[in-house]
Amino acid sequence: MPRNAISVADKEEMTEDKVSHLSEKLANAVNAFKNDAGGKIREINEMVKEKSKEALDSSRDIISNKPVTAVAIAFGAGLLTALLLCRNKK
């Protein structure tokens, strides 16, 4: 066998090392992506909670300042919904 020749066993070992290294890099990348995605999801969740609270507070203010208007809007929305649902049954 020539002096510079690499045996099949050596090639196999080098291939296994490369695969192991790439597998480790892939696992690290997946974990980094998972952690980043989890952080973004928590951030969006907090933002949605804030916006929901603001919308609820705004609705409460409007209802307490103009209760008759709020009741009229609710009645109109209910009537419109009922008309749309009953229209399909005929």
Asked if the structure places residue 1 within a domain, the reply is no
- What 8-state DSSP symbol labels residue 3? T
* pLDDT tens per residue, range 53-81: 999 999 999 999 999 999 999 999 999 99
**Structure pTM?**
0.50
DSSP 75: H
**Cα dihedral angle (33, 37, 38, 42), rounded to 10 degrees?**
160
Q: Is residue 3 part of a domain?
A: no
58 found inside a domain: yes
- The domain containing residue 47 runs over which residues? 8-87
Task: Count how many domains the chain has.
Answer: 1
The per-residue pLDDT for range 4-24, each reduced to its tens digit, is: 667 888 888 888 888 999 999
Do the domain assignments include residue 57? Answer: yes
Q: Is residue 80 part of a domain?
A: yes
